Amino acid sequence: MNRKILYPIIIVCGIIVIACWYHWWFNPLTTIILVRHAEKGPGQDPPLIEAGHKRAGALAHAVSSAGVAAIFVSEALRTQQTADSAAALLGLTPEIIPANSVDELANRIKSDHQGEVVLVVGHSNTVPQIIEKLGVSSPPALPETEFDNMFIVHRHKYGLRELTHLKYGKHLCPCSE
């Protein structure tokens, strides 16, 4: 091949490799796993019922190898109990952020946990709000009757936000099919 053609191709390829490396190195990916609390009992600040404790165990299993570095929960007992199994398995202490402090939570994740994997256990009304504050437009609504939704937000420092919607522990639901 002619050297006059080969050298520019090598230079362009080198620039592309350097640009990709630079982007990867200085633009870490933050992964946020968001779930609603598991099945709860009745009352003002209800604890989890048996199915909820089973789902909490399924959550711990689901995130056990994800590299979770931090766990956030609300002040509600049901969110804390949902995160307990995962926290114990991972050796982490969940941090309590009030449910009405969605902005504070999103800002903490963006500033303090950049490039890490974070687990957030929230509520049917706060999970979509948190997803939106993390930069995903049109977050999905969460029905009051569903406890098996898991949302994963991949957030690059600058730009791209991706949302993945999964189900976990569905077979544990005591609801009729």
What would the pLDDT profile of 145-158 be if each residue is shown by its tens digit? 999 999 999 998 77
pLDDT, residue 3, reads 64
Is residue 2 one of the residues assigned to a domain? Answer: no
Instruction: For tokens 């009304």, name the residue.
Output: 125
Is residue 127 one of the residues assigned to a domain? Answer: yes
pLDDT, residue 55, reads 96
**Region 20-41 average pLDDT:** 81
CA atoms within 13 A on the CB side of 163: 19
Q: What's the domain range around 79?
A: 29-172
Task: Give the model's confidence band at 85: pLDDT under 50 very low, under 70 low, under 90 confident, else very high.
Answer: very high
Task: Give the model's confidence band at 2: pLDDT under 50 very low, under 70 low, under 90 confident, else very high.
Answer: low
Give me the chain's average pLDDT, please. Answer: 88
pLDDT, residue 15, reads 75
CA angle 32, 174, 130 (to 5 degrees): 20
Is residue 9 one of the residues assigned to a domain? Answer: no
Question: What is the residue-wise DSSP string for 74-89?
Answer: -SSHHHHHHHHHHHHH
Name residues whose C-beta falls within 8 Å of residue 87's C-beta, 6 or more positions apart in sequence.
Answer: 71, 93, 94
CATH at residue 34: 3.40.50.1240
Q: Which tokens in the block code for residue 155?
A: 């957030």
pLDDT, residue 19, reads 62
Q: Which tokens in the block code for residue 9?
A: 């191709």
**Region 8-33 average pLDDT:** 70
Task: Give the model's confidence band at 174: pLDDT under 50 very low, under 70 low, under 90 confident, else very high.
Answer: low
Instruction: For tokens 């256990």, name the residue.
Output: 121
Is residue 42 one of the residues assigned to a domain? Answer: yes
Q: Which tokens in the block code for residue 143?
A: 């029905």
Is residue 23 one of the residues assigned to a domain? Answer: no
- 11 residue type, one letter: I
Is residue 8 one of the residues assigned to a domain? Answer: no
- 25 residue type, one letter: W
Give the chain's domain count. 1
**What confidence tens digit (pLDDT) does each residue in 46-82 have?**
999 999 999 999 999 999 999 999 999 999 999 999 9
**Which of 42, 58, 59, 41 shows the shortest CA–CA distance to 50?**
41
| pTM, entire model | 0.83
pLDDT over 70 at 165, yes or no: yes
Q: What is the rounded CA–CA span in Å between residue 117 and residue 132?
A: 18
φ, ψ for residue 112, nearest 5 deg: -95, -15
Is residue 124 one of the residues assigned to a domain? Answer: yes
Are 79 and 37 contacting, i.e. CB atoms less than 8 angstroms apart?
yes
